[in-house]
Amino acid sequence: MHIIVIGSGIAGVCFAEKYGSLSRNDEITLITRENDGYYSRPLLSRGFSKNDIEQSIILKTFDKLRAGNITVYSGAEVTALNRSDKTVVVTGPDQEKILQYDILVLATGSSAFIPRPFRPYTGLFFCLNSLVDLKALRRFRLGLLNQNRKPDWGIIGGGLIGCEVTSDLAFSGDNVTLFHAMDRLMERQLATEDSALLLEVLQNSGVKVLLNQDVKEFARQEDKVCVKTGVTTEFDGLIVACGFKPRIGLAELAGLEIGRGIKVNQFMQTSDNAIYALGDVAELPNGKLYAFILPIRSQAHWLAGFLAGKEQSSWTPPVFTTKAKVHGFEAVHPYNL
């Protein structure tokens, strides 16, 4: 049997490794756009305070996965999925290939969500969703530091990732202003009391927090970028952190059932019984996306066991919690997930 996995995040890699260990005679191929190896996405938000992050974030090189009998196409993108003949089209750096699968696992993850009004300005801001994004941000910051300038950042979005990035930049010595649309930070995950505590921690680290902000547009002014609310404020750099968007494009074009993510049943199976989905991209029958490390690892290991015939019952989400990686902040109440 040939299993093709698309994506080298935690979902794709954990599945491929576990399945390989359970079913040694099958062929596993993993296809990924990434070039740097399998890395820890949560560590991206500590990407400024850790000098060796570009190396220490790598959990496993692709060569190490290859040594474990997984065929890896890196720097390659699956550009089409043909369900009738069970093939995928892989566009690599210098050639196109068509590969046939018996089982396909979509572990395509998510990209940063850009609110519609911001979309005309994508050249004016950064996001922090991948190692490529982090490297671009670090290069930009280093350019400012090399000119003896203290970087002045505007962060748009006071959710989990916005607060983490804000905290890490401030911890690293930069000026940071955080714009949030709501009247309290991380309102989806935190109790009101914890939002107030988080606000205090960020303010004490020198961050200017602006709540109830309606960011309307951005503009460039010489080497500055401007955020326009009622007033205009200038920054060296902007980061938009307004949530995530599951990468459903391939599945949608191939006619699979789609909601916010790729719809799966309790067996992580899509509307095509030869195709499964895992991780940020998978939407369970309860309408939930389990976009956190712990449940994704659980889904990946469960699916490997199921396809290897070691597991009969359906996937059930584990009990899990999370923690905002904000320097000096500990919530008193459990997070709402």
Ligand X SMILES: Cc1cc2nc3c(=O)[nH]c(=O)nc-3n(C[C@H](O)[C@H](O)[C@H](O)COP(=O)(O)OP(=O)(O)OC[C@H]3O[C@@H](n4cnc5c(N)ncnc54)[C@H](O)[C@@H]3O)c2cc1C
**Residue 218: beta bridge partners?**
227
Q: Can you tell me which residue has the tokens 């902000």? A: 213
Interface with ligand X includes 7 (CB under 6 A)? yes
Interface with ligand X includes 9 (CB under 6 A)? yes
Q: Determine the residue with CB nearest ligand X.
A: 109
Q: Which of residues 208-247 bind ligand X (CB under 6 A)?
A: 247
Query: Shortest distance, CB of residue 202 to ligand X, whole angstroms?
Result: 17
Interface with ligand X includes 107 (CB under 6 A)? yes
Nearer to ligand X (CB atom), residue 166 or residue 213: 166
Interface pick for ligand X out of 202, 291, 303, 331 (rule CB under 6 A)? 291
Pair of tokens at residue 169: 């930049």
Interface pick for ligand X out of 110, 167, 269, 270 (rule CB under 6 A)? 110
Interface with ligand X includes 292 (CB under 6 A)? yes
Nearer to ligand X (CB atom), residue 38 or residue 147: 38
Query: Shortest distance, CB of residue 104 to ligand X, whole angstroms?
Result: 12
Whole-angstrom distance, CA of residue 264 vs CA of residue 255? 14
Piece of the chain touching ligand X by CB under 6 A; list 5-13, 142-150, 174-182, 306-314? 5-13
Nearer to ligand X (CB atom), residue 296 or residue 307: 296
Task: Work out the number of other CB atoms within 10 angstroms of the CB of residue 272.
Answer: 16
Interface with ligand X includes 161 (CB under 6 A)? yes
Angle at which helix 192-204 crosses helix 160-171, to 10 degrees, equals 20
Piece of the chain touching ligand X by CB under 6 A; list 56-64, 106-114, 184-192, 214-222? 106-114
The identity of residue 280, as a single letter, is D
Nearer to ligand X (CB atom), residue 15 or residue 25: 15
Residue 289 DSSP code: B
Strand ranges of the sheet holding 237-240, from the earlier edge strand across to the other edge: 208-210, 175-179, 152-156, 237-240
Pair of tokens at residue 221: 């002014």
Instruction: Give the interface size with ligand X as a residue count (CB under 6 A).
Output: 34
Interface pick for ligand X out of 17, 19, 45, 307 (rule CB under 6 A)? 45
Piece of the chain touching ligand X by CB under 6 A; list 33-41, 57-65, 96-104, 143-151? 33-41
Interface pick for ligand X out of 32, 167, 172, 189 (rule CB under 6 A)? 32
Q: Which of residues 67-96 bind ligand X (CB under 6 A)?
A: 77-78
Whole-angstrom distance, CA of residue 110 vs CA of residue 132? 14
Query: Shortest distance, CB of residue 220 to ligand X, whole angstroms?
Result: 26
Q: On the CB side of 96, how many CA atoms lie within 13 Å of its CA?
A: 6
Q: Where are the alpha helices (DSSP H) in 205-336?
A: 249-253, 293-307
3-state secondary structure of 23: coil
Long-range contact list for 195-201, CB < 8 A, 24+ apart?
Answer: 197/329, 197/331, 197/332, 198/163, 198/324, 198/326, 198/329, 198/331, 201/167, 201/326, 201/327, 201/328, 201/329
Q: Which residues bind ligand X (CB under 6 A)?
A: 6-12, 31-34, 41-42, 44-45, 77-78, 107-110, 128-129, 161, 247, 250, 279-280, 291-293, 296, 322, 325
